Structures are given as C-alpha cells and as structure tokens.
Amino acid sequence: MADEKGKEKIRSIDNAAITLIEKAQKENVSTVFFRADELKPCPIGVEESCCKICGMGPCRLPRPKKAGEEKDRAGVCGATIETIVARNFARKIAAGTASHSDHAREVAETFLKTAQDEAQGFAIKDEVKLLEVALDYGIETEGRESREIAIDVGKKALEQFGKQDGELVYIKKAPLKRQEIWRKLGVVPRGIDREVVEMMHRTHMGVDQDYKHLMLQATRTALADGWGGSMISTDLQDIMFGTPVPILGTFNTGVFKEDQVNIVVHGHEPFLPELLVTATHDPEMKALAEKVGAKGINLTGMCCSANEVLMRHGIPCAGNFLQQELALVTGAVELMTVDVQCQMQGLQDVSECYHTKLVTTSDRAKIEGAIHIEFHPENGLDTAKKILRMAIENYPNRRHAVYIPAETQDAVVGFSHETINYLLGGLFRASYKPLNDNIINGRIRGVAGVVGCNNVRTVHDSAHIAMVKELIKNDVIVLTTGCAAMACGKAGLLTPEAARLYAGSGLAEVCEAVGIPPVLHMGACVDNSRILIAATALVKEGGLGDDISDLPAAGAAPEWMSEKALAIGQYFVASGVYTVFGTTWPTLGSEKVTKHLFEEHEELYKGMWAYEPDPIKAAGMMIAHIDKKRKALGLDKARERVLYDMAMRRALD
C-alpha cells in the first residue's frame, strides 16, 4: 500500500513487528522491509511478460501502456505472449510442487528409517493412522506388526515419487466425481517427479507452445503436490509425530524470554524441531543452561517448522515469514536453525548484528556465512543436542540490550481432519454431520480456506486479517494454514472467544456449541492437503452435493509470495475450488491466459482462479461464490422441519 507523503509508512498491523521494525531502523539493521523500499518490483516481470528461457533473449514484451496500442506480442522464436506467460506460470507451479514434494521425500525417507529403527529418537507414534494409511496404500495389515506395516508404507510412499505410469494412490481419496473429471481431462498424475520433470521439459525452449496444453500439465503437476507430495508428507509426519489434536499455543515475538536461552526453529521440516523438543527436556541440557546463568531453555518456532511443533507440542510461535529477521532484532535469540524454504538470506546479515548464531541444517540448503550442521535422522538426537548446547553456550554472549515486545496471544491450534471428525460428535458419534447439518441449515454459510504467505508488498498480515474477519462476520468458517494461520493466531482469531467478538450469529452459535474458534488452524503450508481431505469428508457425509466443487466453499491466499502458493492454488482450483489470490498476479501479461485461468478453468474443473488485491472485495467474491453454490444445492431457501412418523422410520435404510 502506498504511503502518504509526510506520514510514516504503515508496514504491519502487528504491533510487535512495528516496534521491532523501528528498533531495526534505529540500529541501522537491514531487513526485508527496508530492502523493499529500495527495490521496486520489476514492472515487466510482475506481469510475467518476459521470456528468458533461452540464450536468444531475454525477450521483454510488456503490455502497451495505453489502450488502443495492443498488438500481437511474440519473442524472437515466435513464442506468443500466451506461451510465454503460461510457461512462466507453469514453471512456478513446478517449483512449488518440487518444494513440497522434496520435503515429502525427506519425510518418506526418514519414515522408512524410523520404521527400520535407523532414526535416532523417532518412533511410530500414531498406530491408528498407520493402519488407515496402509489401507489407502492397499497394504495388508491383518496379523502384522506395525513395524512391518510401516516399512511397507514407507516403501510404497517413496514409490510415489519415481513411478512412471498409472495413478498416484491418493487420487482415490478424492470424491469419485472429481476423479472422473481428472481422468477425462488426462490430468491424473502418474508419478510426482515425473510430472515436475515433464513440466520443466515442456517449458523448455521450443517444446509445448499451446498455453491450454501447458496448463493441463501444470494442473497434473500441481495435483502431484496436493494429492501427492503434500498429502504423503502430512500423513507420514502424523504417524511419526502424532496426529495433531487441539492444544493451547502462543503466538508472537513476545514469547521470547529475557532470562532464558531462546532458540528459534525456522523453515519447514519438523524433524530437528521434534528432537529439539526432546533435547530441551534432557536434564543435562537444563543443567548446562543453569550453569550459564539462564533460567531455562525456551524453544520457539517461525514459519511452518513452528506450525509443526506448535500443533503437536504447544511450542510457542514467534511469528510468521516477515518477522524472521525481526525476531533476531530483539537481541534475545541465541540461535536460529533453518532448513528449507522461505528462509531469507538476509538473516545472516541480521544475525551478525547481534550475537545470534544462524545454523543451516539441511544438506540441500546452505547460507553463505552461516554455521552448517547437517541433520541426518541416523544421529538426529545427537545433532539436536549439539545445536542446543551451542545455543546455551551462546547465552552469555548477548551484547546488546535485549528488547522483547510485550505482544503474545494465546490460541487453540491443531485441527487435523481426524480431530475435527472427533470434535463434532465425540468418541462415540464422531462424524462431519454436525458441520454439514449447520451448513445446510444456514447457520454456517460456507467454508473458506485462507492460507499462504506474507508479502512485503502489502501491509504485513493486514490482508489476512481483513479477509478472515469479513468472512467470519458473514458466517463463513475459515480453515487456515501456514503464515496465514499465524497472522490469525497473533490477531486472536484462533481463540474460541473470537467467535463472539467477530463471527456472525449463526457461526458464533455453532462455535459456542462445539467450543471451537471461528478460524481453525490446520497446520503448516504442506498441510493444505488436510483441507482437501476435510472437503472430501464434507462431500462424503452427504447433503452438500457429490463433489468438492458442489460445496459452498472457496479458497484464498491474500498475501501470497512463494511458488508453493501457486502450486497450492492450482491444485485447489483443479480440485474444484474457487481460489482468490491477492497482492499480485503473475499472468496479467496475457489476457488469454488470465481468462483461461479465471473463466475457462470453471468449465474444465468447476473451480477457477481470481485475483483481487482488496481483501474485503476478495472476501465478497468468495461469499458470492458460496451463495452461488448454496443456491445450486437448493440451500438458499429455508427448510421446513420434518416430523417423522412410523412409516417414515420404516423407510429408513
């Protein structure tokens, strides 16, 4: 948002972030906020009207500035602007899918090692889920030990990546009607890696040069993320670390403790964070902390690593994507670990301004200047302790006055699909029925997934919060993951009390009945697969049509920035969900491609993209879509109460 002359630029709606931005400014520490002031987005890149996939370019083909100056735009090879924009878009989806899936591969490998007793400190925690997943994979469970079953699950999961033909196993978890649509269009993924590789091939110079055809493969690639890599990751992580259940958590930078050793786990993988949780309980570590004069060890998280340990252990979350550097600006952080995805290189410079040690832990990601301690499951607990020791020993090295903002916010987090099923009926009557019932009777108008990142080009957290508040005010229950979930957490929307404060009367009534917040934290960004499964459960429960696209539901990522977000968006659209993105949109260079995504996709997938930077307007578009679906289901009219006589009871199945 543009700043008005003479006024301080509004950078965040989060007071903790604002005070730390001010502190950084005072201390002349460079952060993403100041770099963004210096570096405006490339005006041609922002609409993706630039092709640089071969050495004959780059070909810059901006849209004409004035109306009436339109002409056919093409690169030197003749690639049309449609091909160029679609290729760029498809490549981002490939990158997003690759990221989630490579994360998932790591999960599957670690899972297999865990099953084979080769992973130090890990175990099969959720045996019920193991059996369910084994069933999905068609693995025999009768009379077998869970270890044997787990080994087969691990192997079968790994196979999903390198498969060359057939279908990914999780495709069968989708509603039947959805599977038919995919098969008809030929977009059922064969193997996760294969789809990414083929996408990269088809977007190479001089290969697939029909934007609609390119988008079919982009869809197949995205589905390999949502109904492939991401889902594998969620399932196997649940089995290893426990399926999340509602738990009390705390959000924002105020979670740091001045007199304790503060460690931040940042990134996306849950492995090291899980073992750090174990290690912090080690008496040896506690004694060491005492020895250096700290009152304890305070493990905290950022980004999706935080989400993982938050919803499984209640480990506090110090903030979302745009707060990663600000966390270090407190001067209170002894050590930050990073693994993969969304960790800014700027962290290294910031850490150098304080005493903070930045540790890279993945064999796939180093940061120049940072300490590199590779995490491998074989000696994971030893590594965790080594890192923890390093953090503790760094406590006496604090050299600046520590400033920790006061802001913290309690929240209820950890709504997996399984737990929602339980929460709506208890152990004996678990089902989605009450949710379906209250959608049908209109207390809940619909369901929205609000997910995604932060983006420094829009006021930090503002779009998330404005959109979510608008939705719940209109009785739309919100499911959230990733950095969006953290924004909601910080703003107090993940509390049951928020229902009374912000939700419409119908939604508030349901929240009061179940005792839930109006916004449900479902996990990390890789856990968007949980939303797909929840949507499928809604369909299967009955009364709301026979496909995800029939549901009164919509999705949004109002502050997206990463390629993963585009992969997520595409798999939601291809799963039948109307999906609105904010901040910026990467196909505006081509009207035809944009029209294909925004309109023609509805004919193909019964779900489509939309772009609207104003979060309130975007929420309005989502609500209008929800109302459209309600009308199609005949839910727009009040229903008469049915009273049952014996003949009607006899007719029951």
Partner 1 sequence: MSKIIASAAIRGAHKIFDKVDAKYKEVLEKYGPDQEVGFPNTAYYLPIIYAMTGIGVSKLQDFDQILNLCRRLIPPPVREKTHLPYLAPTLDAGMATFFVEELYEAMRYLENPDCYATGEDQTDKTIWLGAASDLIFRKRGVEFVDGTAPGFAAIVGAAPDAQTAAKIALELQEKNLYVFMCGENGGKRFSEQLAEAGVQVGWPTRLVSFGPDIYQAVFAIGFACRVAMAFGGVKPGDFRRNLIYNKDRTYAFVMALGEVTDEWYANAAGCINWGFPTIADTPIPEVLPTGICTYEHVVSNIPHDHIVQKAVEVRGLKVQVAKVPVPVSYGPAFEGERVRGEDIYLEMGGGKTVAVEWTTTKRMEEVEDGKVEVVGPDVGDVKAGTRLHFAMLAEVAGRNFQEDFEPILERQNHHLINQAQGIMHIGQRDIAWIRVSKQAVEKGFKLEHIGKIIHAKYHQDFGAIFDKVQVKIYTEEAKVREVLEQARASYNHRDARVENMTDETVDTFYSCTLCQSFAPSHVCVVAPERTGLCGAYNWLDCRAAFEINPEGPNQPIQKGEMLDERYGQFKGCNDFVIKASRQKVTNVSLYSLMVDPMTTCGCCECIAAVLPMANGLMTVDRDYTGMTPCGMKFTTLAGSVGGGAQSPGFLGHSKYNITQRKFVKGDGGLARMVWMPKRLKEELHDRLVKRGEELGIPGLIDMIADETVATTEDEVIAYITEKGHPALTMESIL
Residue 433 near partner 1 by CB under 8 A: yes
Q: Which residues of 97-136 are buried (b: 16+ CB within 10 A; e: fewer)?
A: bbbbbbbbbbbbbbbbbbbeeebbbbebebeebbbbbbee
**Which residue from 258, 393, 410, 627 is in contact with partner 1, where contact means CB under 8 A?**
410
Q: Which residues contact 565 (CB under 8 A, 6 or more apart)?
A: 96, 451, 452, 453, 525, 557, 581
Partnered with residue 12 across adjacent β-strands are 460
**Which residue from 352, 382, 437, 627 is in contact with partner 1, where contact means CB under 8 A?**
437
Catalogue the long-range contacts made by 92-95 (C-beta closer than 8 Å, 24 or more residues apart): 92/563, 92/566, 92/567, 92/586, 93/199, 93/218, 93/221, 93/222, 93/563, 93/566, 93/567, 93/570, 94/196, 94/199, 94/200, 94/203, 94/218, 94/221, 94/567, 95/563, 95/564, 95/567
In this chain, which stretch among 116-124, 241-249, 313-321, 322-330 interacts with partner 1, using CB under 8 A? 241-249
DSSP string of 377-413? GGGHHHHHHHHHHHHHHHGGG--S-----S--EEEEE
Please state, in angstroms and as integers, the Cα–Cα distance from residue 459 to each residue in 1, 17, 48, 224, following that order. Answer: 7, 11, 23, 32
Residue 422 near partner 1 by CB under 8 A: yes
Residue 435 near partner 1 by CB under 8 A: yes
Q: For residues 441-460, which are near partner 1 according to CB under 8 A?
A: 441, 443
Residue 142 near partner 1 by CB under 8 A: no
**Which residue from 44, 77, 205, 247 is in contact with partner 1, where contact means CB under 8 A?**
247
**Which residue from 411, 466, 491, 574 is in contact with partner 1, where contact means CB under 8 A?**
411
Instruction: Read off the amino acid at residue 62.
Output: P
Compare residues 67 and 427 and give the one whose CB is closer to partner 1: 427
| Cβ neighbours around 430 below 10 Å, total | 15
Cα three-residue angle 58-456-273, rounded to 5 degrees: 105
Compare residues 36 and 247 and give the one whose CB is closer to partner 1: 247
Compare residues 223 and 507 and give the one whose CB is closer to partner 1: 507
**Burial environment of residue 496 by CB neighbours within 10 A (0 to 12, 13 to 18, 19 or more):** middle
Q: For residues 89-128, which are near partner 1 according to CB under 8 A?
A: none
Binding-site size, partner 1 (CB under 8 A): 45
Compare residues 412 and 580 and give the one whose CB is closer to partner 1: 412
Residue 246 near partner 1 by CB under 8 A: yes
**Which residue from 43, 293, 396, 515 is in contact with partner 1, where contact means CB under 8 A?**
515
Residue 314 CB, nearest approach to partner 1 (Å): 11
In this chain, which stretch among 85-93, 116-124, 469-477, 506-514 interacts with partner 1, using CB under 8 A? 506-514
Q: What is the DSSP letter of 57?
A: -
Residue 423 near partner 1 by CB under 8 A: yes
Residue 537 near partner 1 by CB under 8 A: no
Compare residues 410 and 602 and give the one whose CB is closer to partner 1: 410
Residue 434 near partner 1 by CB under 8 A: yes
Contact characters 473-502, partner 1, x per CB under 8 A:
----------------------xxx-----
Residue 638 near partner 1 by CB under 8 A: no
Residue 639 near partner 1 by CB under 8 A: no
Residue 67 near partner 1 by CB under 8 A: no
For residue 32, give the nearest of 23, 43, 21 by alpha carbon: 21
For residue 524, give the nearest of 68, 104, 165, 168 by alpha carbon: 104
Residue 296 CB, nearest approach to partner 1 (Å): 23
Q: Which residues contact 560 (CB under 8 A, 6 or more apart)?
A: 452, 453, 455, 566, 569, 581, 582, 583
Residue 397 near partner 1 by CB under 8 A: no
Residue 505 near partner 1 by CB under 8 A: no
**Which residue from 456, 516, 526, 567 is in contact with partner 1, where contact means CB under 8 A?**
516
Residue 3 near partner 1 by CB under 8 A: no
**Which residue from 367, 391, 424, 524 is in contact with partner 1, where contact means CB under 8 A?**
424
Whether 31 and 326 have beta carbons less than 8 Å apart is answered as yes
**Which residue from 57, 62, 425, 613 is in contact with partner 1, where contact means CB under 8 A?**
425
Q: What is the SS3 assignment for 524-581?
A: CHHHHHHHHHHHHHHHHHCCCCCCHHHCCEEEEECCCCCHHHHHHHHHHHHCCCEEEE
In this chain, which stretch among 154-162, 163-171, 371-379, 434-442 interacts with partner 1, using CB under 8 A? 434-442
Compare residues 108 and 423 and give the one whose CB is closer to partner 1: 423
Q: Phi/psi zone of residue 175: left (φ > 0), alpha (ψ -120 to 50 degrees), beta?
A: beta
Residue 438 near partner 1 by CB under 8 A: yes
How far, in Å, CA of 618 to CA of 613, rounded? 7
Compare residues 2 and 651 and give the one whose CB is closer to partner 1: 651
In this chain, which stretch among 140-148, 190-198, 255-263, 404-412 interacts with partner 1, using CB under 8 A? 404-412
Residue 515 CB, nearest approach to partner 1 (Å): 4
Q: Which residues of 206-241 are buried (b: 16+ CB within 10 A; e: fewer)?
A: eebbebeebbbbbbbbbbbbbbbbbbbbbbbbbbbb
In this chain, which stretch among 181-189, 390-398, 595-603, 640-648 interacts with partner 1, using CB under 8 A? 640-648
In this chain, which stretch among 9-17, 96-104, 228-236, 508-516 interacts with partner 1, using CB under 8 A? 508-516
Instruction: Read off the amino acid at residue 49.
Output: S
Compare residues 71 and 641 and give the one whose CB is closer to partner 1: 641
How far, in Å, CA of 259 to CA of 267, rounded? 25
Q: For residues 248-307, which are near partner 1 according to CB under 8 A?
A: 248
Residue 429 near partner 1 by CB under 8 A: yes
And the tokens for 84? Answer: 């160029």
**Chain position carrying tokens 């399984």:** 418
Residue 641 near partner 1 by CB under 8 A: yes
Residue 54 near partner 1 by CB under 8 A: no
Instruction: Read off the amino acid at residue 547.
Output: D
Residue 412 near partner 1 by CB under 8 A: yes
**Site residues, partner 1 (CB under 8 A):** 246-248, 410-412, 422-430, 433-438, 441, 443, 495-497, 509-510, 512-516, 641-650, 652-653
